[in-house]
């Protein structure tokens, strides 16, 4: 499996991209959408010792997926998208179709798409 992370300017565009991936054969349980800007912003208002990582604050499923096999530098575009009111779509897809799905996400309006092979894969 490959994990795709796509940042979108708004929730509607991200939701439409999620639906496109589902119609293209990606299982719904492999698609995750995060758009809770207020929760992310509140995290930054805490005192430093109470702050969570951006990835850790994105929800259990989302955070676990990302932390398991994604370079932490991905946090910057994810955080930026959410802080600007955008949405982030995570899709776990079969590696053989990852490039096609990534291109589909770009065509659907993603302004940033990152692709990561499963942890431990070579």
pLDDT per residue over 52-107, tens digit each?
554 455 555 455 555 555 555 555 666 677 777 788 898 989 999 999 999 999 99
Taking the C-alpha atoms of 101, 106, 107 and 111 in order, what is their torsion angle to the nearest 10 degrees? 160
Per-residue tokens: 106: 């770009």
- Residue 70: the pLDDT is 54
- CB-based contact 11:87 (threshold 8 Å): yes
Maximum mean pLDDT: which of 2-6, 46-50, 65-69: 2-6
- Residue 85: the pLDDT is 75
Q: 0.95 cut: is pTM over it?
A: no
Tell me whether strands 31-34 and 112-117 are parallel, antiparallel or unpaired. Answer: unpaired
- Residue 112: the pLDDT is 84
Q: Which CATH class is domain 2-116?
A: alpha beta
Q: Which of 4, 29, 20, 26 is nearest to 88 (CA)?
A: 4
Where are the chain's structural domains? 2-116
| 43-67 b/e (C-beta count within 10 Å ≥ 16 → b) | beeeeeeeeeebbbbbbeebbebbe
- CB-based contact 101:22 (threshold 8 Å): no
pLDDT, averaged across the chain: 75
């Amino acid at each position: 499996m490959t994990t795709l992370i796509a940042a979108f300017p708004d929730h509607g565009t991200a939701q439409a991209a999620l639906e496109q991936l589902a119609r293209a054969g990606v299982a719904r349980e492999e698609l995750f959408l995060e758009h809770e800007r207020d929760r992310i912003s509140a995290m930054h208002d805490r005192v430093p010792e109470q702050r969570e990582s951006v990835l850790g604050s994105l929800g259990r499923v989302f955070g676990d997926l990302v932390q398991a096999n994604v370079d932490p530098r991905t946090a910057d575009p994810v955080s930026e998208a959410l802080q600007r009111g955008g949405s982030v779509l995570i899709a776990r897809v079969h590696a053989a179709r990852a490039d096609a799905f990534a291109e589909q996400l770009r065509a659907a309006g993603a302004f940033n798409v990152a692709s990561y092979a499963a942890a431990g894969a070579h």
